[in-house]
Structure 1
Amino acid sequence: MKKIILAGASLNSGNRGVNALTRGQIMLICDKYGYDSEIEILSYTVKDEIINKIIYNNKEIIVKETPCSKNELIVAYIESIGFGENYILKKIKLADMVFDISEGDSFSDIYGTKRFIQHSIIKLIAINVKTKIVIMPQTLGPFNRNWVKIIARKILNKADKVFVRDEISKKVATEELQIQRDIKYIPDLAFYMKCDEKTFIDKFISDKKKIKVGINVSALLYNGGYTKNNMFNLKANYKKLVTSLIEKFANMNDVEVILIPHVMTKNFEVEDDFSVCKKIANDISKKIRTDIKTIDKYYREDEIKTIISGCDFFIGSRMHACIAAISTKVPTAPIAYSRKFIGIWEKIELGDCVLDPKNESENEIIEKIIKIYNNRSRIKEVLELQIPLLKSQIENIPYIIEQK
């Protein structure tokens, strides 16, 4: 029986992408190490211990999620190079392995140095106490500050295995940080997460004969980022863009539109796709006198994936909403505010489907999306070929970890 710690992970984040990465890892562990594996999440999300119960292949998997406050993390790090042993340090010492996924893209200072430090400490503790540490497939960087680069270089050099989910991250490690070790490309773990079998898109659809177009609206982009002042320096006016897109598709006679949130955080409005989708659906329905649908409650990440899988075409601004679509072979047009999108889409030979709101106007993006939509049959053929290959690569992770 393997005892595995998941770090930079959660099953209780409002960001369903983080949860999808975590659930994908758990499913992989069960498949490759056995259902009796002891899995525990050291969480930056929860405030109190949570016992998560996951049903997978008709078996109940218990995954404890333990809170890690910043103060306790710092204490654990200090004790890992000196004396003492708080609960975080003890758990890491007793583990066979630590799988650290950094919430997908938080091993970087792009979101600030506090977040980078938070996501570095468990990695450093595992290195200090010689517990096997695996950097799971994720985006590396950007690393903008010199001292951040020094810490990142140390971690990547000393980790037992390093996986990246795109070639750009590999380039950052080898060229910018001058890492000379072997770094493996493995697709994003959300590709491995299975759909929930009890959820269906039908309850949100009026006419099953129509083409179902799912649109994921990012509240973060809609609200202008955390600064609420075009934080991501978009050329396109995102509010105008999504409004025009929704209206354009809703006015097509053979199309039914459903708005699908992927980050749901009722206490953090700037990030809450759910409330933004509700507002947009209501406003546009009144304006064009067409019933724009959206989901009715907060769904789990595997349930959302099932809903997305029922679409015939998908447009998204949250990367893991788009991964939920392409991993279920739904032709997709991602509106990418970050470089993390393009690396994944290029790997499946669909880089030309990625829209760039930093450098393209609303009209340019809409024109490209219509072309992608009209070409969706060819895109689906590519996905039918590429997606099984991605999933088989993910299955190789345990074998690579065991290699000397």
Structure 2
Amino acid sequence: MRILLAWTDETSPNLGVRALGRGSKDLLRRIWPQAEFVYMNYGSKPEAVTWSPRGLVREWVTGRRGMRDWLDGFDLYWDTRSGDSFSDIYGLPRHTTMSMIHEFAARRHVPTVLAPQTIGPFGSRRSRLLARRDVHRSRLVLARDPLSAAASATLGRPVDLTTTDLVFGIDQPVAERGHDVLLNASGLLWRSTRHGDPEAYRRQIRAVIDGLLVRGRSVTLFPHVLDSADPDNDVPVATELHAEYEGRLGLVVPRDLEHARAVIAGASLVIGARMHACLNALSTGTPAIAMAYSRKFAPLMGELGWPHVVDASGSEEVADRILAAVDDPSLAAQARQAQQRGQRLLADVQHLVEATR
């Protein structure tokens, strides 16, 4: 059994992308213990594949790179779309490339599964047409929240299952104790205007830090990425804040996904705008207050029965709402319930894939 894990890998500096890969492998290995896994992602491109939509069309016609033969070598195309890229929010070229390779796999009669992910939004007619072809060519379509399930239904293909994020399929870590509040300040939101006002976000983060310190909480800055040249890197933001607060904050830069999950599992609370920082926390039973910057947060968290999602789209009341959630004495109990629900929901994926293999 050879399985192509698309749009995730074990080398990405983005720990959310790594979590999708690890969750996929751990889940699918319970079905096929002897399976061989191959990754395909922007940081780990196979020689037979090009990322250019024009190049993909040319390759399909000429076969010079051997992509068709390469796809023929797989028994399953497990398409994660990096969790939230089955959409045009990151640009139409990215959506087009991912959709075309999915279609080419289906044309080679490789069973294709749209793994649990966010579906939509689709802002143009072309992006909707691409999405429609993908859902109709997939053996299984799995949504990680009800809003995504509704988006698939509007494409004429109801999902086979509404479940949750693949992070709940990862085996549990051994907790590394010693941290109270882990604060994940996102490099994406700190600098880019793509998802809101960076100045407002910076004010929110500093107000949250100040409020936690006034409450006597120990705060550790926690980038949920590995240090890299990526412009969305959280590490420079964390080091900047660490210097600004002159020793009043801790700083932990994760070495890899396993280290990140161990630190998170041993903490009292995570506050973060990286969705997988929050999902990694809930999947280990650690409470997480999410600073949501897109529509992918609330429906997914809601399906887990987790209400602590704050819209970080510029309101000056964001910090107050986060700090009010911090003061909730039932956070730990709620987190354990969310963890258990996530595990049950993802177990349904395993049963469904087993039934259709």
Shorter-chain TM-score: what band? over 0.9
Match of 1:322 among 274, 278, 290: 278
Distance 1:266 1:84, change over 3 A: closer
Give the match for residue 59 of structure 1.
none
Match of 1:271 among 224, 232, 236: 232
Give the match for residue 9 of structure 1.
8
Asked whether 1:355 is paired with 2:353, we answer no
Q: Is the 8 A contact 1:250 1:256 kept in 2?
A: yes
Q: For residues 284-307 of structure 1, give each alpha carbon's deviation from its aligned partner in whole angstroms, at most 9, with x where no partner exists.
A: 12xxxx531111x44212211111
How far did residue 79 of structure 1 move?
5.0
Match of 1:194 among 160, 166, 171: 171
Give the match for residue 160 of structure 2.
183
Q: Is the 8 A contact 2:205 2:319 kept in 1?
A: no
Asked whether 1:336 is paired with 2:299, we answer no
Which ranges in structure 2 are unaligned for 5 or more consecutive residues?
none
Q: Is the 8 A contact 1:20 1:302 kept in 2?
A: no
Distance 1:180 1:84, change over 3 A: closer
Q: Distance in 1 between matches of 2:269 and 2:292?
A: 17
Q: Distance in 1 between matches of 2:40 and 2:198?
A: 39
Q: Is the 8 A contact 2:142 2:163 kept in 1?
A: yes
Superposed counterparts of 1:138-287, under 5 Å: 138-175=117-154, 177=155, 179-197=156-174, 200-202=176-178, 212-223=180-191, 225=192, 230-234=193-197, 237-253=200-216, 255-268=217-230, 270-285=231-246
Give the match for residue 105 of structure 2.
126
Partner of 1:147, secondary structure, is helix
Give the match for residue 40 of structure 2.
42
Q: Distance in 2 between matches of 1:385 and 1:248?
A: 27
Q: Is the 8 A contact 2:15 2:226 kept in 1?
A: yes
Q: Is the 8 A contact 1:75 1:86 kept in 2?
A: no
Give the match for residue 293 of structure 1.
250
Q: Distance in 2 between matches of 1:30 and 1:24?
A: 10
Asked whether 1:373 is paired with 2:353, we answer no
Q: Is the 8 A contact 2:184 2:271 kept in 1?
A: yes
Q: Distance in 2 between matches of 1:232 and 1:311?
A: 28
Q: For residues 57-99 of structure 1, give each alpha carbon's deviation from its aligned partner in whole angstroms, at most 9, with x where no partner exists.
A: xxxxxxxxx784325x76555555x563734322321211110
How far did residue 121 of structure 1 move?
2.1
Asked whether 1:312 is paired with 2:268, we answer yes
How far did residue 234 of structure 1 move?
4.2
Identity fraction in percent: 24
Partner of 1:389, secondary structure, is helix
Residues matched between the structures, number: 356
Q: Is the 8 A contact 1:222 1:238 kept in 2?
A: yes
Q: Distance in 2 between matches of 1:169 and 1:281?
A: 38
Distance 1:303 1:400, change over 3 A: same
Q: Is the 8 A contact 1:21 1:190 kept in 2?
A: yes
Partner of 1:315, secondary structure, is strand
Q: Distance in 1 between matches of 2:197 and 2:282?
A: 25
Give the match for residue 397 of structure 1.
349
Q: Give the TM-score, by structure 2 length.
A: 0.92
How far did residue 131 of structure 1 move?
0.7
Q: For residues 118-158 of structure 1, give each alpha carbon's deviation from its aligned partner in whole angstroms, at most 9, with x where no partner exists.
A: 21122111111111000000111111110111111011011
Q: Distance in 1 between matches of 2:148 and 2:104?
A: 23
How far did residue 359 of structure 1 move?
5.6
Q: Is the 8 A contact 2:48 2:65 kept in 1?
A: no
Q: Is the 8 A contact 2:77 2:112 kept in 1?
A: yes
How far did residue 391 of structure 1 move?
1.2
Partner of 2:322, secondary structure, is helix
Partner of 1:343, secondary structure, is helix
Q: For residues 252-274 of structure 1, give each alpha carbon's deviation from its aligned partner in whole angstroms, at most 9, with x where no partner exists.
A: 33x21101101234212x31101
Partner of 2:310, secondary structure, is coil
Q: Distance in 2 between matches of 1:327 and 1:91?
A: 35
**RMSD between aligned alpha carbons?**
2.3
Q: Distance in 2 between matches of 1:42 and 1:190?
A: 19
The one-letter code of the counterpart of 2:224 is H
